[in-house]
Amino acid sequence: MKEISDMSKNDPRPRGRPRAFTDRTEQNTIKTLDRAMHVLSTLSRLEDATLTALAEATGDPAASVYRVLITLQAHDIVELEPSDQTWHVGSGAFQIGSAFLRRTSLIDRARRPMRDLMEATGETANLGIHRDGEVLFVGQIETRAPIRAFFPPGTRADLHASGIGKVLLAAMTEARRSALLPDPLPAYTDHTLSDACALADDLGRIAARGYAVDDEERNAGMRCIAAPVRNLHGEVVAGLSISGPASRVTPDRTETLARAVVAAAADLSERLGARPRASGARGD
């Protein structure tokens, strides 16, 4: 056993790839698996779909999509609803996806600050991170109010049209933002900052005051206030927010609510090892 251990220590080969591996991406891609992942991600985006609808959405032949679905169904990755013949993401996909949440302490450490934030503000608390040019919501504590915002874990949103997305953008370099943001920026409501200059001005204010406001920019009638979460190196790794109907998250409450959000984000940052920062949100 000692000899094997010594050989392992002297072997510089990375453990995540074969000994003779050279990075030829196209050559090493399994096309059938690539197609299966495309079908699965499309089904996830649609939430439910018939075979015909899924084939149209992916651009693949229905027979090929069906073979993918049957294979994934055998592993509980997708499920078929017999009553209306629609396909859904299955429990097996959830079990696999849960490994991502277990990989980091961010999710676990966010539960208490998020719950405290929900209790303090009476609004739904959300946790999101940057993934592939979008906000990926990874946690939520719902308010008990009958009218509420709902962004279940796994939901994605545009960076420029969400509170969390804007605090993440505000922490990036201009070059990185330019590489991530689409041109033109899509507008979802009359309030969406679809003009690049207007968005840049808003990001400057966000960086200066320490929080962002989504003023009905993604969904009419819904407002969001978000603040950045930092790791032990001081890097922004997530955003924490509250979201609720515009009738409750009113402009005259913004300063008060923002202070609560900034304090909760600072609490979570300290739990991740960040040094304490000056508390309290600053106004313009």
Taking the alpha carbons at both ends of the chain, their separation in whole angstroms is 65
Beta strand pairing call for 212-215 and 124-131: unpaired
Please report the pLDDT score of residue 180 as a whole number.
Answer: 94
The lowest-confidence range among 99-103, 129-133, 179-183, 255-259 is 99-103
Q: What is the CATH number of domain 104-271?
A: 3.30.450.40
Q: What are phi and psi of 55, to 5 degrees?
A: -65, -40
What value does the mean pLDDT take over residues 17-34? 65
Please report the pLDDT score of residue 58 as a whole number.
Answer: 92
Please report the pLDDT score of residue 7 as a whole number.
Answer: 42
Per-residue pLDDT reduced to its tens digit, 215-264: 999 999 999 999 999 998 899 999 999 999 999 999 999 999 999 999 99
d(CA 274, CA 168): 17
CB 264 within 8 A of CB 109: no
Please report the pLDDT score of residue 26 as a whole number.
Answer: 58
- Where along the chain do its domains lie? 2-95, 104-271
Whether pLDDT at 134 is above 80? yes
Tokens for 147, please give them: 């009218």
Sign of CA dihedral 234, 238, 242, 243: positive
CATH class entry, domain 2-95:
mainly alpha
Please, where are the H alpha helices in 210-253?
none
273 — pLDDT class (breaks 50, 70, 90): confident
- The pTM assigned to this predicted structure is 0.68
18 — pLDDT class (breaks 50, 70, 90): low
154 — pLDDT class (breaks 50, 70, 90): confident
Per-residue pLDDT reduced to its tens digit, 37-61: 999 999 988 888 999 999 999 999 9
